Amino acid sequence: MGQISETPPPARPLAGKTVAVVHAAWHSCGSYQVNVSQIAAYQALGARVLSVAMMDALTPPAPDGGRWPSYLAATRDIGADRRYFCGAPNAALASRLLLDGWWRLIHGDQASWLIEIAKRVPVPDDLEAIDLFHANHYITLPFVERLKRGRRVPVILETQDIQARQYVLRNQGGFFIPPYVGYDEMLAVELDWMRRADLCAHLNEEEDRDFRALLPQARHALIYPAVLDVPRAAGGEIIIVASDNYANYKSLRWLLQEVVPRADGARVAIYGNIDAGVKQRDPALYEAHRALFRGRVENIGAVYANAGCVLLPTVEGHGLSIKAVEALSCGAPLIATPLAFRGMKVDPSAFSNVSLAEDAEQFARLWREAQARADAGETPAAASDTRKYYEAVFSPAAYARALAAELETLPA
């Protein structure tokens, strides 16, 4: 992945301060890349930065149990000055968690379940004194409250979409029993915890607008996330990069079922752990197209460097797509549905290296044309409209400047 290459803010307002970036213990996804760039931005502002990873499930202790080994192996590039690994122990299920959380979870209430887990995450004994918390997703806030140890410490909450929407989408792929807990009930849990943050930072236009309407008494800021740049595309491979979530699965299913049959042999290499999600949810679909999947790779930068075109077949999802921003950064020609640019205040049709498709037939035609250019040896230009847009809006330097402006308004 890239580094902060643009000129950083001239001031270092957090020199001598310690910032804790508290986040779910996720990897190989857009949220993880947001966390990496948050840490880099706070370091550019002069802070000592701690990564506090909270497992969003009951877990054996790190580093050897449960999902911890895979998380640790995949997050060596997080860049923090110090790391903490925290999770609610399996023994918590013998407590009121069974009644307070699990009983609601089986009816689809993932919001309450995750809050109850966070309430039971032990505070590290050797936690350093913190001057600012940057919490990611409201589900970490009960844990942050305990990390504060009764001190008055400012908290920035980065919402990363309305999570109740994500839970409703995720529930489509699960099994729950009636009476079902729906969007409104889970949203109420989310909003109740958000009220406790000193600043709610939103990373896309839609999210900022909706939360301002839902919580008019809270302080809000639209701060586009920093996405560390990937190498400039200079190859000829047509690629898709996708992590395993339900929205990506539905989008890729659309491509495989509706677009591929019309693509006339146009080729694509699909990178990321989405292969596991497709294999689990639709084994027959996976087997029919398994030759397209390359799986998760350690160096995703090398994938973008060898790209001649990036496909963004987005037909489902809420919030900003981090993979779309990565694609902007690499500067390659993009073939995309309009939904791929959700949350960005931009007209993608204005980019000279973006081709928009409204349906499967148009997507397949554009893909065939891109394949012909690749077969003729054409490679992406050294500069592109999408790369310029990335540098102005989504670069680490732009994010650090936006954070510095908001820091001045926080309570001491």
pLDDT, tens only, 59-108? 999 998 899 999 999 999 999 999 999 999 988 887 787 778 888 888 88
pLDDT, tens only, 19-52? 999 999 999 888 898 899 899 999 999 999 999 9
Binning the chain into helix, strand and coil, the percentages to the nearest 5 are: 45, 15, 40
pLDDT at position 175, please?
78
Indicate whether 210 and 261 sit together in one domain. Answer: no
69-72 long-range contacts (CB < 8 A, ≥24 apart) are 70/27, 71/25, 71/26, 71/27
Rounded CA gap, 394 and 33, in Å? 12
Say which amino acid occupies 247.
A
Burial class (CB in 10 A: 0-12, 13-18, 19+), 65: middle
Indicate whether 112 and 39 sit together in one domain. Answer: yes
Q: Quick one: average pLDDT of 245-272?
A: 96
pLDDT, tens only, 314-342? 999 877 888 899 999 999 999 999 999 99
User: Inter-axis angle of helices 322-330 and 30-44, to 10 degrees?
Assistant: 70
Indicate whether 217 and 92 sit together in one domain. Answer: yes
List the domain range (segments joined by +) for residue 49.
18-226+395-407
Indicate whether 272 and 212 sit together in one domain. Answer: no
Q: Do 293 and 240 touch, CB atoms closer than 8 A? A: no
Indicate whether 46 and 70 sit together in one domain. Answer: yes
Concatenate the DSSP letters of all residues of 151-202 into one string: ----EEEE--S-HHHHHHHHHTTS---SSPP-HHHHHHHHHHHHTTSSEEEE
Let me know if residue 86 belongs to a domain. Answer: yes
Residues with Cβ < 8 Å from 316, sequence gap 6 or more? Answer: 169, 246, 247, 250, 251, 339
Let me know if residue 138 belongs to a domain. Answer: yes
Q: How many domains does the chain have?
A: 2
Q: Cis bond leading into 179, ω under 30°? A: yes
Let me know if residue 36 belongs to a domain. Answer: yes
Q: Quick one: average pLDDT of 261-278?
A: 96
Among the listed residues 328, 336, 343, 323, the one whose alpha carbon sits nearest the alpha carbon of residue 380 = 328
Let me know if residue 4 belongs to a domain. Answer: no
Indicate whether 201 and 242 sit together in one domain. Answer: no
Distances (CA, A) of 351 to 58, 283, 346, 378: 45, 37, 9, 19
Indicate whether 282 and 188 sit together in one domain. Answer: no
Indicate whether 221 and 264 sit together in one domain. Answer: no
Let me know if residue 161 belongs to a domain. Answer: yes
Indicate whether 170 and 188 sit together in one domain. Answer: yes
Rounded CA gap, 367 and 371, in Å? 6
Indicate whether 363 and 245 sit together in one domain. Answer: yes
Indicate whether 220 and 300 sit together in one domain. Answer: no
Tokens at 359, concatenated: 């349906």
CATH number for 102 = 3.40.50.2000
Tokens at 31, concatenated: 């949220």
Indicate whether 357 and 377 sit together in one domain. Answer: yes
